Amino acid sequence: MTHAIKNLPQFRGASATLPAWHDIAGLTLTQYAQRQGIKPGAARSDYRRLMRGQLESPGISRMEQSDESIKFCIPVASAPQYETESVLIPMRSFHGGRWFTLCVSSQVGCRMGCTFCQTARMGLVKSLWPAEIVGQLLTARKVLQGTDAESNAAHVGVRNIVFMGMGEPLDNLDSILAAIATMTDPAGLAMPMGRITISTVGRIDGIRKLSAARLEGVKLAVSLNAPNDDLRSAIMPVNRAMPLAALHEALVEYSAGGRRKIFLEYVLLAGVNDSHEHAAELVHWCRALNVVVNVIPYNPQQPAAYQPPDEATVVRFVAAIKSLGILAKRRITHGRDLMAACGQLGNPAVSRKRGQEVLGQSPLLEGGRVAE
């Protein structure tokens, strides 16, 4: 059971210059100590105090709530004319507390060009710095600390972090890795690695770099959305650069022969990728992988590029995958009326510039691979 959040707190706007929090929020304890010119042991107390409540958090420009979800927008510290969008998604109560999953953005806009995603319509505006990513967690904690709940819950907080907001995380991997190091530093924010999920459209080079980073416990989710190359290339241009066979090979390597679980995200588009035949193709593609398929009914954009399937189609599709031996779940939708659900984040007023690169149909491709 979840409870409504009331009396959302007010925040100041961000200044045009880099604020004080930005200079600290992307640092681990060791980096903070080096910046201060002291040993980590001597810096630990100050670092813990700053990261767990005393550090000024980014200013919020907009905040909305619906169905117990909270969407908040933060001016980008290094480019305040733009905003990041983040979403607090309610989870079920347990252990006397109320918990949320925080959906974090890694970029403003995105260059992947997925046709069912509002963010893609913006094109890539800017990749976020580590502090701007960590700042979303700092702000989320301040939002929840400042709320008045209709319960006597012992605790309200962020339990999970999913890199599923605006942008392609593996297109900004260095910042993601630095942000995760700060988020999980036990001397500071102390988020467990096992509660972090990184989502990707299937950047094979990024998957291999992520594997080499050895982030024990961090989960990988792949936005698949189609079981064959023709269909996937039509709705996801990245597939032209990194087709399904190559993606499958990279995931087999990443999963260490099936020992590591991978989550597949499948946005269901009415009349496009929602047939029993598509389900059968998907299950065949999953061979040699240890996967869970999360089925996500399409969430309309402004204007809508597709239509969501009806409930009966969603139920049949999930059942078909299960009947063929793969674990599948229907993801519960939160925040749709806030334009905060999967595929809805992004500013409709910002559109991709004419001629801007889109992965899969741009000079980024060199001989069928992604140019560095």
Helix orientation angle between 311-323 and 276-285, rounded to the nearest 10 degrees:
40
Amino acid letter for position 252: V
CA 247 to chain centre: 20
Q: Give me the mean pLDDT over the 195-214 stretch.
A: 96
Angle at 260 between CA 322 and CA 273, to 5 degrees: 40
For residue 257, being part of any structural domain is answered with yes
What sign does the dihedral 367-201-239-261 (CA atoms) show?
Answer: positive
Residue of 110, 114, 117, 342 marked active site: 342
Percent of the chain with pLDDT over 70: 84
Residues 6+ apart with CB under 8 A from 274: 268, 309, 313, 314, 317
Is residue 11 included in any domain, yes or no? yes
Structure confidence at residue 86 (pLDDT) = 94
Residue 264 is part of which domain span? 5-348
Tell me, what CATH number does 134's domain have?
Answer: 3.20.20.70
The 10s digit of each residue's pLDDT in 283-333 is: 999 999 999 999 999 998 878 889 999 999 999 999 999 999 999 999 888
Number of domains in the chain: 1
How many helices (H) and strands (E) the chain has is answered by 11, 16
The verdict on residue 230 lying in a domain is yes
More confident residue, 237 or 18: 237
The answer to the question of residue 370 being in a domain is no
Tell me, yes or no, whether 365 lies in a domain: no
Residue 356 placed within a domain: no
343, 301 in Cβ contact below 8 A? yes
Tell me the average pLDDT across 162-180: 97
pLDDT per position as a tens digit, 335-353: 777 777 788 888 877 776 5
369 inside domain: no
Q: Is 117 a known active-site residue? A: no
Q: What is the mean predicted confidence (pLDDT) over 262-268?
A: 98
Highest mean pLDDT among 95-109, 178-192, 249-263: 178-192
